[in-house]
Amino acid sequence: MSGSGDAWVYGPDGARFWGLYGAAGLLVHHRERGVLLQHRAVWSHHGDTWGVPGGARHENESALEAALREAGEEAGVPAHLLRVSFTSAIDLGFWSYTTVVVEALEFFEPVISDTESIALRWVPPQEVELLPLHPGFAASWPALRDRLV
């Protein structure tokens, strides 16, 4: 098992980012139901906002492995029902975040399985921006939305 990446990383300007080895999240898209979003716990970084399940990568863990693991832990996302569509990454040099976009081949009900989620919801793409979004997800959403099939 690789070492946990659960730690803060600080940028040159003092800004902090979660994930010693970077972080990854999973954007699940179902053609009829929309995208699966997570209402983040109030105590979390940028809490009480909506985004995708995700978190810190472990040492030597790929972004795909991390995103699938985190989505399974936080939302009960069944990896065997997913097909990878594309990835989108931001690399700050000292820290990176990768969004792994997947298509759900079958509908499934997400399950809150830890304390990091207040709610999980399938949201039609045209309604995503009506929610209070995590700032990082809000910045990346327009480009991600335009690439959904």
The pLDDT tens digits of the residues spanning 33-57 come to 999 999 999 999 898 999 999 999 9
pTM for the full model? 0.94
Domain ranges of the chain: 21-147
pLDDT of residue 82 exceeding 90, the answer is yes
HEC per residue, the chain:
CCCCCCCEEECCCCCEEECECEEEEEEEEECCCEEEEEEECCCCCCCCCEECCEEECCCCCCHHHHHHHHHHHHHCCCHHHEEEEEEEEEECCCCEEEEEEEEECCCCCCCCCCCCEEEEEEECHHHHHHCCECHHHHHHHHHHHHHCC
CATH class, 21-147 region: alpha beta
Band of pLDDT at residue 136, cut at 50, 70 and 90: very high
